[in-house]
Structure formats: C-alpha cells, structure tokens
C-alpha cells in the first residue's frame, strides 16, 4: 500500500507507542555512526523492513548517491539508494522504527510531507535523530554526547553532556522542516549527537557508535551487551600508539586535552580549524590503516 510516496507492507504492523530512531545521511553521519548504530539495533531486535520510497529517483540524484552493483550467488544485483524504514516489536512499549533517511536533492517539501504522513499513519510518539559530527576533541578522552528534547538540552543519562541551548545560525539540513511538522503533530523531537576528533576521520568510527548506544541503552533500558565498546577501544588504542610517535600530532592532542579538560560549558560545537598539510597527510594515512580493525 502507499502512504505518501512510500510503498509499505500490507497490512501495517500493530505498533505500541512507537519511537522512531533515525539517522540522516550524509549531513550528520560522520564515521557512519548513525548507520552503524541502527544496524546494531536492527540486528539485536530482528527488525523487518516496513517500507521505502516507491520511486527514489524523484528525490535523489543518482550521480551523487551512486547505485551499487554486487554479485550475489553469481547473479548481479543492483542496490538503489533509498530511504528505508524498519520496525521491531518489544515486550513493553515503545516499539521501534529504525529510519535510514537520505537527504533529498529535489522536491524536498514533498519528501517531508511523505515522511510526515508516514509517521502520522504509524502513530509515532517520538522522533530521535542520532548522528555524529567532527569537533575539536581528543581521542584520548571519553567522547562526549550532546542531546536535546523539544529543543532544550537533554540531561540525566550516563555519558550525556549538557550544554547551553545552541545559538547556531547558518546552513542546515532541509529535514529541519520535518522536525517542525512533527512539532505541529505533537510528536516529541529528540537529538543525540556524538562529537568525534576532527583530525581522525575514520570511515567507520566504532568508539562513536558505542557512545551513542550507551545513551540509548540507558534511555530505553536495553541490554548491557548492546554497545560493543571493545571495538572502539581497540581502534583508538591502535591510533594512539601511532600518534604518540609523531611530535606534531602528539602536540595537537595535548592542546586538545587541555581544551577538553576546561569542561563542556566552555566549549561550543564550532567548525574545527584546518590542520597543517603534513599532519593532515599523516593522519589520513593512519585513518586508512584503522578503517578495518
């Protein structure tokens, strides 16, 4: 059946007070933290696909989001970029929706209207957008997670750092319209954002993924095994042994440690300053080594 421009399974599953946990690519998915977090949750809960856009080409430029071809049992298969929604039941409410959201290139208002209609049809109670961004933080300190609920700083969960309400003005995602529409429907809007070291841009950051999962575990009383902290710890340990051998990189980390230790109240999520070219090359080469721990 069609709900807006989404083709969804029929009959619709009966969901108990569903909460939608969503990632937005590519805007705030540094280190694929949002993607990895959803994959971990989907595997744990045995999530099933609920629906996807019937014609994604209406919204996406496939020269920017490239289709991917694979060989599956000797047969060539083509995967087309799309916004895909999965669902999972729990014994106690809320049930979950896991939303892999791609930012549209065209007809964004129609895209937002279809997402809004889908959430309204499914009776979503909360929209929690997760992700990661780069910031001036060291890899040698616990990664900070900031969050908001209804636009106000969120606090009270392990590992979550409270900051003053953001006064950011500037470019943002068109999906901000989606949050506004959900506000009108009375759906809670929440964000969880982990701040990653700007000098280390790993293709898959497992430490950042574990930090988001730790907050979600506390928020939804999930099993302690959900965050795979050892993956991230091993990844960052390997990085540290290399960084300490490079005097310039070591000096950079020491300055960031001093800045970090002043406390989160003295810091704002600003665009990090460019690194010197030689250090950038060193860290890029190092990141490539660590992308497959």
**Look-up of token digits 């506000």:** 183
Question: What's the Cα-to-Cα distance from 276 to each of 42, 219, 248, 259, 282, rounded to whole Å?
Answer: 40, 40, 9, 19, 10
Whole-number Å distance between alpha carbons of 72 and 168:
46
DSSP letter at 34 equals H
- Partnered with residue 148 across adjacent β-strands are 153, 191
Q: Virtual CA dihedral for 286, 289, 291, 293, nearest 10 degrees?
A: -120
**Which pLDDT does position 287 carry in this prediction?**
61
Rg (C-alpha) for the chain, rounded Å, is: 20
Low-confidence ranges of the chain (pLDDT < 70): 162-168, 264-293
Beta strands in the chain (DSSP E): 2-3, 6-8, 19-25, 48-53, 68-72, 75-79, 84-88, 96-102, 126-135, 145-149, 152-153, 160-161, 188-197
**Which pLDDT does position 131 carry in this prediction?**
95
Instruction: Give the pair of three-digit tokens for residue 144.
Output: 């900070």
Question: What's the Cα-to-Cα distance from 230 to each of 104, 216, 293, rounded to whole Å?
Answer: 35, 17, 11
Report the CATH number at residue 6. Answer: 3.40.50.10900
198 lies in which domain range? 2-290
Instruction: Give the pair of three-digit tokens for residue 188.
Output: 């809670």
Count of structural domains, the chain:
1
pLDDT tens string 113-132: 999 999 999 999 999 999 99
Q: What is the pTM of this model?
A: 0.88
Dihedral sign, CA of 50, 55, 61, 66? positive
Could you report how far apart the first and last alpha carbons of the chain are, in Å? 42
pLDDT tens string 170-196: 778 888 999 999 999 999 999 999 999
Angle between helix 277-290 and 229-243 (nearest 10): 140
């Amino acid at each position: 059946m069609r709900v807006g421009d989404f083709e969804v399974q029929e009959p619709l599953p009966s969901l108990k007070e569903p909460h939608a946990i969503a990632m937005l690519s590519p805007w705030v998915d540094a280190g694929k933290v949002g993607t990895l977090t959803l994959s971990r949750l989907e595997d744990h809960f045995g999530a099933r696909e609920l629906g996807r856009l019937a014609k994604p080409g209406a919204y996406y430029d496939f020269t920017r989001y490239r289709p991917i071809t694979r060989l599956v049992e000797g047969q060539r298969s083509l995967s087309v970029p799309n916004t895909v929604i999965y669902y999972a039941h729990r014994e106690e409410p809320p049930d979950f929706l896991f939303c892999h959201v791609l930012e549209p290139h065209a007809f964004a208002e129609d895209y937002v209207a279809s997402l809004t209609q889908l959430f309204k049809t499914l009776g979503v109670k909360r929209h929690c957008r997760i992700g990661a961004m780069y910031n001036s933080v060291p890899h040698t300190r616990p990664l900070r997670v900031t969050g908001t609920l209804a636009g106000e700083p969120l606090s009270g969960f392990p590992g979550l750092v409270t900051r003053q309400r953001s006064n950011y003005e500037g470019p943002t995602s068109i999906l901000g319209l989606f949050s506004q529409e959900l506000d009108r429907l009375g759906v809670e809007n929440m964000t969880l954002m982990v701040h990653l070291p700007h000098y280390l841009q790993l293709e898959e950051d497992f430490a950042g993924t574990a930090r988001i999962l730790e907050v979600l575990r506390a928020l939804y009383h999930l099993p302690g095994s959900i965050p795979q902290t050892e993956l991230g710890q091993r990844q960052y340990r390997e990085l540290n042994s290399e960084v300490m051998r490079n005097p310039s990189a070591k000096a950079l980390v020491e300055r960031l440690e001093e800045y970090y230790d002043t406390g989160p109240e003295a810091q704002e999520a600003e665009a990090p300053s460019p690194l010197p070219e030689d250090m950038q090359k060193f860290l890029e080469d190092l990141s490539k080594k660590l992308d497959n721990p």
